[in-house]
Amino acid sequence: MMRQFETAWELTRYHLDGLSTEECLWRPATRGLHVQQLPDGKWRADWPEHEGYDLGPPSIAWLTWHLGFWWSMVLDHSFGDGKLSRENVLWPGNADAVREWIGQLKGQWQGALEKLSDEDLRSTQRTRWPLQDRPFGDVVAWANVELTKNAAELGYARFLHAVSAR
């Protein structure tokens, strides 16, 4: 699973490298999940009421927020006090801060996983979000898939942005 994680991370890093704030805030369609700047300067992400295609494509900002959201949640609920909620996960506000945030989450996750034994991966003790009553190895496998999916979405959105600017 660690090799899968490393592969997923390399793909994610590839799409984060060189990412600009302008790309993040670009909207690929008139509808789609995005981030909104609040009066206090913080950035809150839209939350979908459903997962239908009619929502429209998300912005890169929203995709990076979503990546940081689920990683923050799984870290807190598996290795922390489990009190973090979606409302407390904000978008950092620019591409450099996104790279820093996601890089920190990657380091925390990797560090936590490297300390786990095979018994820990079979145990359900840490499995509290997004799965319950399953071996923690299932959460690790889910995170690998989620990271890979987010990397693919980021790459696709960056391709769209690159050709839309012409």
Query: Domain containing 52 — which CATH number?
Result: 1.20.120
Would you state the structure tokens that stand for residue 153, as one six-digit string? 């979405």
Burial (CB count <10 Å: 0-12, 13-18, 19+), residue 136: buried
Structural domain of 57? 2-164
Residue 166 has pLDDT above 80, yes or no: no
The string of pLDDT tens digits covering residues 93-138 is: 999 999 999 999 999 999 999 999 999 999 999 999 999 999 999 9
Mapped onto helix, strand or coil, the DSSP state of residue 37 is strand
pLDDT average, residue stretch 4-9: 97
Mean pLDDT within 146-151 = 98
84 CB-near residues (< 8 Å, 6+ apart): 72, 73, 76, 77
Output the CA–CA distances (angstroms, integers) from residue 71 to 23, 33, 38, 54, 98, in the order listed: 22, 19, 23, 26, 13
Q: How far is CA 165 from the centre of its chain?
A: 26
Helix (H, G, I), strand (E, B) or coil at 45: strand
The whole model's pTM is what?
0.96
Domain count, the chain: 1
